[in-house]
Amino acid sequence: MKATVTVMLKTGVLDPQGEAVRRALGSLGFEGVGGVRQGKVIELDLAAQDRATAETEVRAMCERLLANTVIESYRIELA
């Protein structure tokens, strides 16, 4: 089973990388961009065969390593 985890900074947390991208886009002539949030995508190949086990495992991975849950949120997609 494959899992995709998307990790983003929580709303209200400053995103200096996103702001740098927004400014760079403006300097390249893309003036209509009002805000940019930058995150990360992690793809996992899992041995788990059922969705419940896979989701439990990936959630534990996120809570312990993949996301800093104080300032980041995450979304899990299983396929």
What residues does each domain of the chain span? 2-78
Q: Phi and psi at residue 9, in whole multiples of 5°? A: -65, 145
From first to last of its 79 residues, what are the pLDDT tens digits of the chain?
999 999 999 999 999 999 999 999 999 999 999 999 999 999 999 999 999 999 999 999 999 999 999 999 999 999 9
Q: What is the CATH number of domain 2-78?
A: 3.30.1280.10
pTM above 0.95, yes or no: no
| CA dihedral angle for residue 10, residue 16, residue 19, residue 21, rounded to 10 degrees | -110
Which residues are 76's β-sheet partners?
Answer: 5
Q: How far apart are the first and last CA of the chain?
A: 6
